[in-house]
Amino acid sequence: MQKILVARSIFPDVIERLKQHFEVDWNDGDVLSADELKRRLADKDGALTAGDMIGADVLAAAPRLRVVANMAVGYNNFDMAAFNAANVLGTNTPDVLNESTADFGWALMMAAARRIAESEHWLRAGHWNKWSYDGFLGSDLYGSTLGVIGMGRIGQALARRAQGFNMRVVYHNRSRVAPQIESELNAEYLSKEDLLRRADHVVLVLPYTKESHHTIGAAELALMKPTATLTNIARGGIVDDAALAEALRDKRIAAAGLDVFEGEPKLHPALLTVPNVVLTPHIASATETTRRAMANLAADNLIAGLGAGPRAGQPPNPINPDVIGKART
């Protein structure tokens, strides 16, 4: 029987599914260290991961490894050049989390714009003793301009929500979306710089790559309106967190909502010193329905990728399909 490693704690019923096909080594504890990950992968044919770094060194230490299923849409934790060189298949879990993530991005944007977290902390500290006309004045979403950077599935889901708020939608992407989609979403394509100048609320939903590192840094923040908000539900590293903390401290933008961070789970300490930022621990897809769907889709990918189940050899979401059927090198 083929052996797999499930590197993170997931739903026990998904583990039972996997046990129908494989001998399962399940890490139901803390995140594995790099050395422990290598050790436990040494005799494995497949792995189910959730953000664990899989590079050339890990693949070299696991000569039998043929499939790694990531329980996420993003796969910047995979060194895809190393995967391709070794003929190891990587998979991800797109689509099943689009709406939940868009919902959360909207909630985070509204919380930042309306100063919800900031006012709650103030209330809990016992400061509220009267109503004030200028207490925690925020900014409206209704009738404002939404700027979406990364008009993929989740970006489009956000743009659909904007229609209910009578918002103008501007977007920037590596390439323009189809004219039909622009028309359906009433979305206008702009350069990144023009978007930052015009948008009242900027939301980041682009994948993390070397090219997108620090897409938003000090220069970009300087282009934004002082009344604008920035929301990041994409990946840490897309925003220069140090530059953002400084801009928030100096009120060069009004507020921010962050679900992802550079070097997470560690946070840049300056972010903890500014009141006008809403911070959440990478939970944009965290509904039970969605996380179960992600876990089961990752399992589907692993089962099929290792030649088992009804879709043997045809995993639903291959990242590098050209390696399917090739011998491990």
DSSP 167-189: -EEEEE-SSPPPHHHHHHHTEEE
252 classed as catalytic: no
Nearest-5° Cα angle at 205, 175 to 305? 90
Residue 120 is a catalytic residue: no
Q: What CA–CA distance (Å, rounded) separates 124 from 116?
A: 12
Write out the two tokens for 273.
Answer: 């010193």
Other CB atoms closer than 10 Å to residue 325's CB: what's the count? 10
- Nearest CA to 87 out of 301, 298, 324 is that of 324
Of 17, 66, 201, 235, which is the active-site residue? 235
- For 135-163, give the DSSP string: TT-----TTSEEEEE--SHHHHHHHHHHH
- In the structure encoding, which two tokens stand for residue 70, read together? 């990531």
d(CA 123, CA 312): 56
Assess whether 262 carries a catalytic annotation.
Answer: no
Beta strands 201-204; 229-232: pairing state: parallel
Annotated catalytic residue, options 40, 213, 264, 292: 264
Q: Are strands 168-172 and 3-6 parallel, antiparallel or unpaired?
A: unpaired
Please, which residues have CB within 8 angstroms of residue 108's CB and are 6 or more apart in sequence?
231, 233, 257, 258, 259, 278, 280, 284
CA neighbor of 108 nearest in space, from 263, 256, 238? 256
Among 160, 168, 197, 282, the one annotated catalytic: 282
The tokens describing 54, both together, are 């899989």
Residues noted as catalytic? 235, 264, 282
